[in-house]
């Protein structure tokens, strides 16, 4: 609650009021503007310029975007990364979030023993660096070590063993599932929190009405945590279209085999810094970053103005 | 408890235990095998190290690379610096936005909120040029500045929520007691904000400690790597030396696990208190 | 001299006026209670005196000094908040000493003032405790102690008893009254509870909708309310109101054949719509008396020594009469009520009193 007006606080001159505001706001606003907002705007801005052979930049309007989307030197990798990124996102939505909801549902059961222990342990992988997780799984799936083969043989499915990370057909799905494995804790905790906020009386009322625990969850609790599921979805979207570390750590900047696990983040990195196959290109790098920005912005907007508005919120 | 309830409780625990095992197995596997000799790693990867298979050869290699200590120091410096300035500047801004009325209040709040949703990474092209112009390439300062900028929006958001829970009467009592606005913030608000600050610190700490992107872009030089980048480069270098690779992974995992065990209650409480909505 | 003088004070949030032309003098050493329903502006008025709310127009002076633009700390006031507003991270001693420390008061003097306040309030054994280790009543006393050590010209109390349970509230009320006598302090006290107002105040200010409805000594307000609002607000249970019309000189028609003869103030003319007011304690079950109403008992509330009868009148209105002992009447039984003629109030159509009761 603010106590003063624009003119200042009681008994304080306008100058010292402004000094007060400056003291508290300036450090955060300056650092944030200079190192976050400015680079973002400057990157979008530089996507409108084209690098010449002599190293100078000329204004190119939306030319870079036309190139990126239509010139086959760029568009093939762009659309490939885009498609892969959507697959990456859909696997998270289809696997990570349902598992997260299911775990949250189990954790929120009344009188569950060892609740805190389960919660803490299942959340643990989320804490670790994506790089570490990537390497760990690389080792586990490696045919050299053979652990995965051994495990499959133990359950009589040895024939299904394959170098999952090394095949074009399975690399992206495998990497996506590893990411799901790591981050399932986030939807679990957020939905668990939302479930806890539902008053016990509501579940009791449903029990009195003759619903089983299963029915109570599906018909009473789940509809009430839809806002949390909406939030989880938009967080997943933003994180997925911003992902980079896992693919880079497991498959390198080339996102092999044959770019089959290439997503927007790795494409951006490769384009901006260059690699064995091409020189770094700041203009096209900015263009890809701007596309990523627009995709994320679109996702957030859809969430804020379409999904969130339609979601009925309840207060208890 | 009747039979049916017992059965369903059993099923619930079976599912949760199975998932917990799935979550922990890869981590345990790495740590376990990092203490074994090469033959045992490949011969019996699922067995605990025994006196006959126990070996620290991988750790000798990892710690023999004298850089590992500097990775840790760099990571601690960057994470610590980021947490300190994020909390200080974030809480100051949150206080001003929550407490004072001025023309651009709402605008500033929305301006800061943009950073919660839009990843700063997307500005990397211009950011790297900016850092170069400032002569900060390959410095930890650059990382701290970028991470503070990255974490301030969420910090302001969470701290504003908590700030709203501090009773208005308390601030007014302090005004009646003759405290200046600065003293109200530093002597009343900041001490009362301690639980919220701890939550924000944990939220800030984890992504910063684990980040690969900005160390790779801004401070990749030898001697300036953080632990995540250092381990990543070490792994790339010794990819065929399984003892070293496993030990390096375990070296990176274990401190985080210890911190997690210490702070997990804080973290989970922060997450479940509805701080993030 | 620590008189508080408020002249023509106005306060608006944008177009919403919350205080309208308030004039009020709080004499040196007096205990003034601002009372009214929630949202009436009494807390805003108190906070304006404290300097926690800027005012839109008018003047506030404390001890002869105009304080309109001074920050709270420079007004020589001390405030006791409804929630006590104790600093949770400081112990009792530091809570009381906090403001003095920032005013750079010498350590010895702080010690002396805090121990003096602690002695008065019997807090000596609690000085090292944190607020959360104290009971509600103890916290309340610390909050008062924090005010005392500042040696203010005026104490401001914002509903200080409303967070206490009923028994403690009565105790603390008595403590505050004693403290006022002991310190001879000037006090402005806000409450929504008219019993607190009646028992504590030298002067009561009844507020409603941002205006002062009436100012006066407690019993003056009780016996001579200036309007229907004050009449209804002061006294418990509330005064009964019966709508009536003056049909002849000195006769009121309450509808449904109920006619009352009584001398009416000259201001009333034949044909005026008026409201007749009479407190439950001035209505008895009695078949004789100058002013009679008949009705049926809806319900009897027996509280012991006294009780209250809710009676329906033939015109559909319901009134409450105080009963003593245990009258043997069942629900629905017809009764006759006698209204004490000297305690009847007549209010005009605008709600203001036509004349004080002809006592």
- CB distance from B64 to chain C under 8 Å? no
Summarize pLDDT for A81-101 with one digit per residue, the tens.
999 999 999 999 999 999 999
Give which of B259, B269, B249, B245 is closest to B76, Cα–Cα: B259
Q: Per-residue pLDDT for A238 more than 80? A: yes
Distance from CA of A198 to the nearest CA of C (A): 29
Q: Per-residue pLDDT for C359 more than 50? A: no
Quickly state the pLDDT bin for A315 (edges 50, 70, 90).
low
φ and ψ at residue A40, rounded to 5 degrees: -65, -50
Tell me the C-alpha distance between C339 and C334, whole Å.
Answer: 16
- Percent residues over pLDDT 90 in chain C: 53
Neighbour tally for A267: CB within 10 Å: 27
- CB distance from A2 to chain C under 8 Å? no
- Joined tokens for residue A316: 């208890």
Summarize pLDDT for A155-166 with one digit per residue, the tens.
777 777 777 777
Which of C49, C50, C53, C54 to probe the A interface (max A CBs under 10 A)?
C54
Q: Which residue in the set A132, A181, A296 is minimally distant from B252, CB to CB?
A: A132
Instruction: Give the right CATH number for B60-272 from 3.30.1360.120, 1.10.3720.10, 2.40.110.10, 3.30.750.24.
Output: 1.10.3720.10
Cβ-Cβ contacts under 8 Å, B103 against chain A: 6
Per the CB < 8 A criterion, the answer to whether C191 and C233 are in contact is: no
Rg over alpha carbons for chain A, rounded to the nearest Å, is 25
Cβ-Cβ contacts under 8 Å, C71 against chain B: 175
Neighbour tally for A156: CB within 10 Å: 8
What residues does C33 pair with on adjacent strands? C189, C204
- Joined tokens for residue B127: 């950011």
Quickly state the pLDDT bin for C311 (edges 50, 70, 90).
very high
Summarize pLDDT for C50-105 with one digit per residue, the tens.
988 889 999 999 999 999 988 888 888 999 998 888 998 889 999 999 989 888 89
- Joined tokens for residue A64: 């870079």
Q: Which helix (H) or strand (E) is A22 found in, with range? A: helix A14-32
- Segments making up each domain of chain C, as ranges: 4-232, 237-355
Cβ-Cβ contacts under 8 Å, A133 against chain B: 26
What lies within 8 Å, CB to CB, of C108 at 6+ separation is none
Q: Per-residue pLDDT for C244 more than 70? A: yes
- Segments making up each domain of chain B, as ranges: 3-55, 60-272
Summarize pLDDT for B173-199 with one digit per residue, the tens.
998 888 889 999 999 999 988 888 888
Summarize pLDDT for C111-133 with one digit per residue, the tens.
999 999 999 999 999 999 999 89
Q: Which residue in the set B170, B175, B176 is minimally distant from C87, CB to CB?
A: B170
Task: Determine the CATH number of domain C237-355.
Answer: 2.40.50.100
Distance from CA of B273 to the nearest CA of C (A): 21
- CB distance from B175 to chain C under 8 Å? yes
Quickly state the pLDDT bin for B273 (edges 50, 70, 90).
low
Task: Determine the CATH number of domain C4-232.
Answer: 3.40.50.300
- Joined tokens for residue B251: 């070296």
- Joined tokens for residue B96: 């001003």
Average pLDDT of span C199-221: 94
Summarize pLDDT for A116-149 with one digit per residue, the tens.
889 889 989 988 888 889 888 988 888 878 777 7
Contact A31 B152 (CB under 8 A): yes
How far from the centroid of its chain's Cα atoms is residue C211's Cα?
14
Which range, of B242-246, B272-276, C315-319, averages the lowest pLDDT? Answer: B272-276
Distance from CA of C53 to the nearest CA of A (A): 7
For C149, half-sphere exposure in the C-beta direction (CA atoms, 13 angstrom radius) is: 31
- CB distance from C13 to chain A under 8 Å? no
Mean pLDDT of chain A: 85
- Segments making up each domain of chain A, as ranges: 68-310
Contact B156 A120 (CB under 8 A): no
SS (H, E, C) chain C: CCCEEEEEEEEEECCEEEEEEEEEEECCCCEEEEECCCCCCHHHHHHHHHCCCCCCEEEEEECCEECCCCCHHHCCEEEECCCCCCCCCCCHHHHHHHHHHHCCCCHHHHHHHHHHHHHHHCCHHHCCCCHHHCCHHHHHHHHHHHHHHCCCCEEEEECCCCCCCHHHHHHHHHHHHHHHHHHCCEEEEEECCHHHHHHHCCEEEEEECCEEEEEECHHHHHHCCCEHHHHHHCCCCCCEEEEEEEEECCEEECCCCCEEECCCCCCCCCCCEEEEEECHHHEEECCCCCEEEEEEEEEEEECCCEEEEEEECCCCCEEEEEEECCCCCCCCCEEEEEECHHHCEEECCCCEEEECCCC
Q: What sign has the CA pseudo-torsion B42, B43, B49, B52?
A: negative
Distance from first CA to last CA of chain C, Å, rounded?
38
Contact B130 A23 (CB under 8 A): no
Give the chain B residue whose CA is nearest to the CA of A125: B23
Tell me the C-alpha distance between B256 and A128, whole Å.
Answer: 7
Conformation bin of residue C31: beta by default, left when phi > 0, alpha when psi is -120 to 50: beta
Contact A124 B23 (CB under 8 A): yes
CA dihedral angle for residue B1, residue B3, residue B5, residue B6, rounded to 10 degrees: 90
Cβ-Cβ contacts under 8 Å, C88 against chain B: 192
What lies within 8 Å, CB to CB, of A43 at 6+ separation is A286, A289, A290, A293, B122, B123, B124, B125, B126, B127
Average pLDDT of span B151-169: 89
C334-339 and C283-285 beta bridge pairing? antiparallel
Quickly state the pLDDT bin for C309 (edges 50, 70, 90).
very high
φ and ψ at residue C347, rounded to 5 degrees: -110, 140
Q: Which residues of C116-127 are buried (b: 16+ CB within 10 A; e: fewer)?
A: ebbebbebeebb
Which 3 state secondary structure label does DSSP give A274? strand
Summarize pLDDT for C119-171 with one digit per residue, the tens.
999 999 999 999 989 998 899 999 999 999 988 999 999 999 988 888 888 88
Summarize pLDDT for B98-132 with one digit per residue, the tens.
999 888 889 999 999 888 888 888 888 899 999 99
Distance from CA of B104 to the nearest CA of A (A): 10
Q: Per-residue pLDDT for A224 more than 70? A: yes
Give the residue with greater pLDDT, C165 vs B238: C165
pLDDT at site A3: 40
In eight-state DSSP terms, residue A279 is B
Give the residue with greater pLDDT, C79 vs B240: C79
Q: Which helix (H) or strand (E) is A57 found in, with range? A: strand A57-59
Summarize pLDDT for A58-86 with one digit per residue, the tens.
888 888 898 888 888 888 999 999 999 99
Tell me the C-alpha distance between B146 and B82, whole Å.
Answer: 9
C65-66 and C240-248 beta bridge pairing? unpaired
Q: What sign has the CA pseudo-torsion B125, B126, B129, B134?
A: negative
How far from the centroid of its chain's Cα atoms is residue B161's Cα?
21
Give which of B50, B256, B230, B22 is closest to A140, Cα–Cα: B22
Give the CATH architecture of domain A68-310.
Orthogonal Bundle (1.10)
Cβ-Cβ contacts under 8 Å, C53 against chain A: 3
Distance from CA of B171 to the nearest CA of C (A): 8
Per the CB < 8 A criterion, the answer to whether C341 and C301 are in contact is: no
Helix axes B124-133 and A264-273, enclosed angle (nearest 10): 40
Cβ-Cβ contacts under 8 Å, B176 against chain C: 50, 52, 72-73, 77-79, 99
Average pLDDT of span C29-39: 93
Per the CB < 8 A criterion, the answer to whether A164 and A174 are in contact is: yes
Conformation bin of residue A259: beta by default, left when phi > 0, alpha when psi is -120 to 50: left
Tell me the C-alpha distance between C206 and B261, whole Å.
Answer: 60
Contact B101 A6 (CB under 8 A): yes
């Amino acid at each position: 609650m603010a106590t003063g007006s624009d003119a200042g606080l009681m008994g304080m001159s306008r100058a010292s009021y402004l000094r007060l505001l400056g003291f508290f706001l300036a450090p955060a606003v300056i650092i944030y503007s200079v190192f976050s907002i400015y680079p973002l705007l400057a990157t979008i801005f530089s996507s409108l310029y084209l690098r010449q052979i002599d190293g100078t930049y000329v204004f190119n309007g939306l030319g870079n975007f036309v190139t990126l989307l239509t010139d086959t030197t760029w568009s093939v990798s762009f659309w490939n990364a885009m498609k892969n990124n959507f697959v990456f996102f859909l696997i998270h939505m289809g696997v990570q979030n349902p598992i997260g909801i299911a775990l949250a549902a189990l954790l929120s059961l009344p009188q569950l023993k060892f609740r805190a222990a389960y919660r803490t342990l299942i959340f643990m992988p989320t804490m670790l660096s994506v790089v570490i997780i990537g390497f760990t799984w690389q080792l586990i799936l490696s045919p050299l070590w053979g652990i995965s083969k051994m495990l499959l043989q133990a359950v009589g499915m040895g024939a299904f063993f394959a170098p999952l990370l090394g095949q074009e057909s399975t690399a992206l799905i495998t990497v996506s599932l590893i990411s799901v494995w790591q981050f399932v804790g986030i939807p679990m905790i957020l939905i668990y929190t939302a479930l806890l906020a539902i008053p016990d009386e509501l579940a009791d009322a449903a029990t009195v009405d003759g619903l089983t625990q299963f029915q109570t969850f599906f018909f009473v609790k789940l509809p009430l945590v839809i806002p949390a599921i909406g939030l989880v979805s938009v967080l997943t979207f933003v994180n997925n279209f911003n992902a980079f570390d896992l693919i880079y750590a497991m498959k390198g900047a080339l996102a092999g085999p044959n770019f089959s696990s290439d997503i927007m983040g790795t494409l951006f990195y490769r384009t901006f810094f260059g690699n064995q196959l091409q020189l770094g290109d700041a203009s096209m790098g900015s263009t890809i970053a701007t596309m990523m920005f627009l995709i994320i912005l679109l996702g957030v907007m859809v969430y804020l103005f379409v999904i969130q508005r339609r979601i009925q919120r309840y207060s208890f | 408890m009747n039979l049916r309830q017992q059965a369903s409780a059993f099923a619930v625990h079976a599912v949760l235990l199975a998932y917990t095992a799935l979550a922990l197995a890869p981590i345990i596997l790495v740590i376990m095998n990092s203490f074994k000799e090469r033959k045992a790693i490949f011969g019996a990867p699922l067995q605990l190290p025994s006196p006959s298979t126990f070996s620290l050869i991988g750790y000798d290699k990892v710690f023999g690379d004298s850089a590992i200590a500097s990775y840790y120091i760099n990571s601690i410096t960057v994470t610590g610096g980021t947490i300190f300035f994020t909390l200080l500047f974030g809480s100051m801004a949150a206080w001003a936005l929550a407490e004072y009325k001025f023309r651009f209040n709402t605008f500033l709040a929305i301006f800061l909120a943009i950073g919660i949703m839009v990843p700063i990474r997307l500005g990397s092209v211009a950011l790297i040029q900016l850092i170069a112009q400032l002569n900060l390439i390959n410095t930890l300062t650059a990382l701290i500045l970028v991470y503070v900028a990255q974490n301030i929006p969420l910090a302001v958001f969470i701290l504003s929520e908590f700030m709203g829970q501090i009773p208005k009467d308390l601030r007014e009592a302090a005004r009646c007691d003759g405290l200046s606005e600065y003293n109200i913030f530093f002597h009343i608000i900041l001490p009362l904000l301690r639980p919220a600050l701890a939550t924000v610190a944990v939220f800030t700490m984890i992504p910063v400690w684990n980040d690969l992107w900005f160390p790779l872009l801004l401070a990749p030089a030898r001697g300036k790597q953080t632990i995540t980048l250092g381990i990543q480069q070490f792994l790339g270098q010794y990819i065929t030396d399984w003892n070293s690779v496993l030990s390096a992974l375990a070296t990176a995992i274990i401190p985080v696990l210890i911190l997690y065990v210490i702070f997990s209650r804080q973290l989970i409480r922060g997450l479940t208190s509805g701080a993030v909505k | 001299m620590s008189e508080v003088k408020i002249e023509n004070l106005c306060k608006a949030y944008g177009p919403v006026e919350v205080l309208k032309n308030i004039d009020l003098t709080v004499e040196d050493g007096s205990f003034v209670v601002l009372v009214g329903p929630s949202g009436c502006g009494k807390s805003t008025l108190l906070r304006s005196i404290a300097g926690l709310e800027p005012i839109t127009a008018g003047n506030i002076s404390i001890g002869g000094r105009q304080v309109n633009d001074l920050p709270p700390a420079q007004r020589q006031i001390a405030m006791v908040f409804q929630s006590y507003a104790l600093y949770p991270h400081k112990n009792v001693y530091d809570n009381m000493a906090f403001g003095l420390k920032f005013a750079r008061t010498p350590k010895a003097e702080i010690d002396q003032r805090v121990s003096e306040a602690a002695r008065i309030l019997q807090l000596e054994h609690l000085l090292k405790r944190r607020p959360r280790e104290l009971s509600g009543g103890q916290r309340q006393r610390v909050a008062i102690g924090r005010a005392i050590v500042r040696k203010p010209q005026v104490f401001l109390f914002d509903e200080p008893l409303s967070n206490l349970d009923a028994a403690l509230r009565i105790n603390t009320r008595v403590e505050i009254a004693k403290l006022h006598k002991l310190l001879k302090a000037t006090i402005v006290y806000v409450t929504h509870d008219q019993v607190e107002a009646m028992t504590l105040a030298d002067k009561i200010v009844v507020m409603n909708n941002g205006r002062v409805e009436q100012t006066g000594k407690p019993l003056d307000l009780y016996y001579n309310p200036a309007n229907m609002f004050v009449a209804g607000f002061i006294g418990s249970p509330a005064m009964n109101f019966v709508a009536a019309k003056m049909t002849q000189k000195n006769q009121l028609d309450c509808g449904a054949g109920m006619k009352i003869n009584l001398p009416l103030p000259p201001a009333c003319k034949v044909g005026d719509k008026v409201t007749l007011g009479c407190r439950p304690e001035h209505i008895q079950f009695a078949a004789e008396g100058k002013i009679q109403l008949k009705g049926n008992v809806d319900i009897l509330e027996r509280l012991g020594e006294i009780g209250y009868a809710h009676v329906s009148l033939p015109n559909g209105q319901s009134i409450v009469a105080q009963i003593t002992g245990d009258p043997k009447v069942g629900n629905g039984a017809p009764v006759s009520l006698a209204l004490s003629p000297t305690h009847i109030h007549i209010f005009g159509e605008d709600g203001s009193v036509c004349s004080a009761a002809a006592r």
